[in-house]
Amino acid sequence: MSDCDEAFALKAYVMRPYSGDMEKEQRDYNFHLSRARLIKNSFRIMVQRLGVLNSNLNVDPKNFQAVATACCVFHNVLILWE
């Protein structure tokens, strides 16, 4: 289900989804937490595939969004070519 479940103790640095009957705010939290994990896993796959992402990128912060977008597009092209 997630990277972290009830087997892990609650700590300030651990984000764990709510379970059981939930209010809207808790459902929203779970949704955003799952989206963040999806993005994290996508970047993990890209780092494995594109070794250049495994080191520090010397990129002007103003250009980072363009670099991240280019990496995503390149990754998707590679998937299509498999």
Those residues whose C-beta lies under 8 Å from the C-beta of residue 26, and which sit 6 or more positions away, are 18
Q: Does a structural domain hold residue 16? A: no
Q: Residue 28's CB: how many other CB atoms inside 10 A?
A: 11
Query: How many distinct structural domains can be found in the chain?
Result: 1
Q: How far apart are CA 23 and CA 60, in angstroms?
A: 42
The residue segments making up the domain with residue 43 are 24-81
Q: Does a structural domain hold residue 35? A: yes
Q: Is residue 7's pLDDT more than 60? A: yes
Q: Does a structural domain hold residue 5? A: no
Best-predicted range by mean pLDDT (34-38, 51-55, 76-80): 76-80
More confident residue, 9 or 80: 80
Q: Is residue 76's pLDDT more than 70? A: yes
Q: How far apart are CA 50 and CA 62, in angstroms?
A: 22
> Rounded to the nearest 5°, which phi and psi values hold at 74?
-60, -45
Q: Does a structural domain hold residue 59? A: yes
Q: Does a structural domain hold residue 18? A: no
Residue 10 has what pLDDT? 66
pLDDT digits 0-9 by tens, 17-52: 888 899 999 999 988 888 877 777 777 888 888 777
